[in-house]
């Protein structure tokens, strides 16, 4: 099963009827494209990117007070605090695809929750997929979010090729190939890298994306808008390539794991690095961590075995937090506990491999 059509219709109706919608979206390709899809359909409202710790907490309540929306739309984030929920008096529409278990939250009647896992626990299709089902337009933006969240939808891929055959060649049938060996993958990286750096620059990029009409504006730099996004991408790409080379060297040291940490106060690139390192080291569990402010902010990936279970086990013995998907998740632990975290993660991961 999936999110029922009547629920998708209810979401679209709420979007149609909102006069001052306020959108909160996660700061990655899935969250960004989900927002872009809804905004381009509605052509009204304000977007707020959830950066740093991926949690909607009381710090974001100020945005609600400033904008005074008549409806709030929450996209691609699994973590809300009770303080944030209670602060909002208008209807809320929460579209997500992560684990829907929120035992600590008391959701009021004005909160409407849409998550495919409510109907099928194994249906983790990205938020951009459901946003596209809601608005039925801008498929190239939707596919950037879907592939960017490491998911491949064959039927939508075929539909995309009818209009943009050069974006995703027919020879590509896997999300990894699409992400790292296709023009669509380059577009996804451009979008992701435009969410790095100063918040003001990120928000400018987000605004520009909602005005882009064709992917060639960006990929071929055909317009001033596209050139702006491409130039920001190139600046981040220099940092990324250096770190990727270092991580790939680290990958040669262990048959089962890639454990790589770096210090960079300019850009957070752990998620993008983890995806590519995993793609190029399919038999290994990957942990990429950025050291910042006394913490290690990590992205974990696995191809053949899940990493979420070992992550949760490791967090029980360290002072940290995290979560995500079975084979793609994130966590934060104090820097002095990172070695202990890795040791416990490896222990549980090896136990999981033996049981398979």
Report whether pLDDT(8) > 80: yes
Spatial separation of the C-alpha atoms in residues 79 and 151, rounded to whole Å: 21
70 band by pLDDT with thresholds 50, 70 and 90: very high
Distance set, CA 119 to CA 88, 122, 234, 237, 348 (Å): 27, 9, 42, 40, 30
Mean pLDDT to the nearest integer, 331-350: 95
Domain parsing of the chain, residue ranges: 5-234, 253-355
Residues paired with residue 285 on neighbouring β-strands, in sequence order:
257
| pLDDT given for residue 356 in this prediction | 54
Residue 326: per-residue pLDDT:
87
Q: Which CATH class is domain 5-234?
A: alpha beta
Pick the CATH number of 253-355 from 3.20.190.10, 1.10.1740.10, 3.10.310.40, 1.10.490.130: 3.10.310.40
Domains 5-234 and 253-355 share a fold: no
- pTM summary value: 0.90
Across 5-19, 64-78, 291-305, least confident range: 291-305
Question: φ, ψ for residue 321 (rounded to 5)?
Answer: -150, 160
Q: Picking from 137-151, 188-202, 247-261, 313-327, which range would have the lowest pLDDT averaged per residue? A: 313-327
The answer, yes or no, to whether residue 34 has pLDDT greater than 90, is yes
pLDDT at residue 52 is higher than 90: no
Q: Per-residue pLDDT averaged across 45-55, rounded?
A: 83
Token pair 């390709």 is at which residue? 29
Whether pLDDT at 355 is above 90: no
Confidence of residue 22 (pLDDT cuts 50, 70, 90): very high
Instruction: Transcribe 127-173 into DSSP letters.
Output: HHHHHHHHH---HHHHHHHHHHTT---HHHHHHHHHH-TTTS-TT--
């Amino acid at each position: 099963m999936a999110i029922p059509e009547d629920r998708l219709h209810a979401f679209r109706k709420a979007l149609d009827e909102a006069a001052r919608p306020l959108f909160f979206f996660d700061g990655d390709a899935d969250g960004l494209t989900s927002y872009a899809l809804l905004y381009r359909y509605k052509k009204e409202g304000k977007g707020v990117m959830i950066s740093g710790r991926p949690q909607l907490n009381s710090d974001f309540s100020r945005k609600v007070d400033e904008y005074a929306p008549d409806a709030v739309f929450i996209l691609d984030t699994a973590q809300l605090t009770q303080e944030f929920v209670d602060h909002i008096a208008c209807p809320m529409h929460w579209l997500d695809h992560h684990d829907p278990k929120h035992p600590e939250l008391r959701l009021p009647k004005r909160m409407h929750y849409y998550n495919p896992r409510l109907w099928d626990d194994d249906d983790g299709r990205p938020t951009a997929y459901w946003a596209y089902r809601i608005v039925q337009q801008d498929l190239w933006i939707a596919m950037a979010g879907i592939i960017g969240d490491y998911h491949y939808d064959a039927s939508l891929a075929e539909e995309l090729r009818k209009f943009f055959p050069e974006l995703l060649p027919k020879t590509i049938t896997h999300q990894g190939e699409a992400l790292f060996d296709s023009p669509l993958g380059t577009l996804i990286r451009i979008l992701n890298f435009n969410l790095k750096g100063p918040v003001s620059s990120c928000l400018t990029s987000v605004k520009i994306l909602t005005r882009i009409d064709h992917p060639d504006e960006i990929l071929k730099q055909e317009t001033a808008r596209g050139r702006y996004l491409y130039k920001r991408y190139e600046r981040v790409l220099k940092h990324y390539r250096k770190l990727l080379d270092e991580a790939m060297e680290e990958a040669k040291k262990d048959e089962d794991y890639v454990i790589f940490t770096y210090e960079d106060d300019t850009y957070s690139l752990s998620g993008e690095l983890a995806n590519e390192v995993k793609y190029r080291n399919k038999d290994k569990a990957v942990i990429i961590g950025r050291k910042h402010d006394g913490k290690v902010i990590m992205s974990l990936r696995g191809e053949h075995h899940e990493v979420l279970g070992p992550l949760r086990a490791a967090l029980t013995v360290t002072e940290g937090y995290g979560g995500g998907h079975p084979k793609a998740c994130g966590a934060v632990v104090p820097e002095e506990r990172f070695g202990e975290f890795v040791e416990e993660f490896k222990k549980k991961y090896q136990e999981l491999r033996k049981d398979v």
